[in-house]
Structure 1
């Protein structure tokens, strides 16, 4: 009996000496949203989007003016000549739409590629952060519910954002100073 008590006491002592897993979670969306590099990218990319929209609007207005001019002239033309010019105008509009569609797709691909790169940087940073700070696990909280509940004590989102961004400011905030 004495041996069993000693064995149980030893077992309890060893198990209590084992290290506890250090587990925390971060709000993935918040970390990526607050990543200064992402904010900088969005500001620069918005300039590209604005330029594209301005170009598309300008081309649309030019076609509209050309169409109005055609309508005014079409009444004085014979029918075959009017149909010819109408088809040419229609083809021009289709080519313009095709070109703008391709440019828009290229912008979307460029934007998504950059966002994917930034997300990879965040993941790598969180992994390194976890290693440096002794975490066994850092879980990602997201809309899909990978972390359904977590104590606020285990939420390291703000600490990760601060470490990720360091003391650097976004280029936009630097420009304002």
Structure 2
């Protein structure tokens, strides 16, 4: 009877050890490198290219306005010696007003570009956050940290970096849309 009890005890210890190390729920601490996800996510490149095209168009409009103003200024400088005082004052005021309008337009364009960049970046970040959330649920992770290269995670063993797996799944999901 002692042999049966000892055998059962040994078997119970072995089963408990097996359960602890092999059947444990996946609750280890893991992380993803957010910068790598942003850089490697295919939608990021598409969004950046779209924003670059819009920015080029808007800045080319500003450049053409500035070019036109500079031509008017050169014309004024050539002809001012033959102008009356009243004509000079009027022309200076017109040039000054036009310069102010161009400056205001340029600031509005910069603001618009910054807002569109922020919206585009937020869209990409939302995609990544939503995907990581689902990935974590499906993988049974309790926590997935986001490392940003600024000291959030000072050390992590190689097996805790999910960046490559998450990035692969994120891009597959995006391509499937």
Q: Same fold (TM over 0.5)?
A: yes
Aligned equivalent of 1:159 = 165
Count of paired positions:
159
Aligned equivalent of 2:57 = 51
Contact 1:26 1:139 in 2 (8 A): yes
Aligned equivalent of 2:84 = 78
Aligned equivalent of 2:142 = 136
- The answer to whether 1:97 aligns with 2:103 is yes
Contact 1:22 1:134 in 2 (8 A): no
Q: Is the radius of gyration larger for structure 1 or structure 2?
A: 2
Q: 1: CA distance between counterparts of 2:57 and 2:97?
A: 24
Query: Is there any run of 5+ residues in structure 2 with no aligned partner, and where?
Result: 1-8
Aligned equivalent of 2:32 = 26
Query: Is there any run of 5+ residues in structure 1 with no aligned partner, and where?
Result: 1-8, 170-177
Aligned equivalent of 1:110 = 116
Q: Could you list the structure 1 runs, at least 4 aligned residues long, displaced by more than 4 angstroms after superposition.
A: 13-18
Q: TM-score, normalised by structure 2?
A: 0.81
Q: TM-score, normalised by structure 1?
A: 0.81
CA RMSD of aligned residues (A): 2.3
Contact 1:67 1:89 in 2 (8 A): yes
Q: 2: CA distance between counterparts of 1:164 and 1:136?
A: 20
